[in-house]
Amino acid sequence: MNEHATKEDILNILRLLSSNDYLTQRDLSNHLNISLGKANYLVKSLVKKGLLEIRNFAIGDKKAKKIKYLLTKKGWEFKINLTYQFLLQRETEYTSIKKEWENLRTNNGDSLITK
């Protein structure tokens, strides 16, 4: 990937596709509130990196081909690792905010807190 693709966008795409591999790029862009172009770019990047596999399938001879996105073994491992990193980051942020809140309550008392 590159600096334009945030880890959170990548994780969200992998999460969505791991639960529903029939989603289209338009579905991804709508679910994640990103442009269709960005969804296309991210999916292509994930395929190029070996994290996603694209399968074509058709229902009947006259029907248009449909695409199915499958996470590869490498994709599942990447998703698990990224999820772990994301949770560690959120835990660190939570701990920091909790300490800040406790300091505010200790230094200012509960007088600033309105109910």
| pLDDT tens, residue by residue, 18-40 | 999 889 999 999 999 999 999 99
Q: Which of 38, 39, 70, 37 is nearest to 52 (CA)?
A: 70
Domain 7-108 in CATH 3.40.50.720? The answer is no
**Rounded-to-integer distance, Cα 43 and Cα 52, Å:** 8
pLDDT given at position 69: 92
Lowest mean pLDDT among 1-10, 38-47, 63-72, 104-113: 1-10
Q: Which amino acid makes up residue 89?
A: Q
Contact of 8 with 86, CB cutoff 8 Å: yes
Contact of 39 with 53, CB cutoff 8 Å: no
Q: How far is CA 26 from CA 7, 14, 18, 33, 93, in A?
A: 20, 15, 16, 10, 32
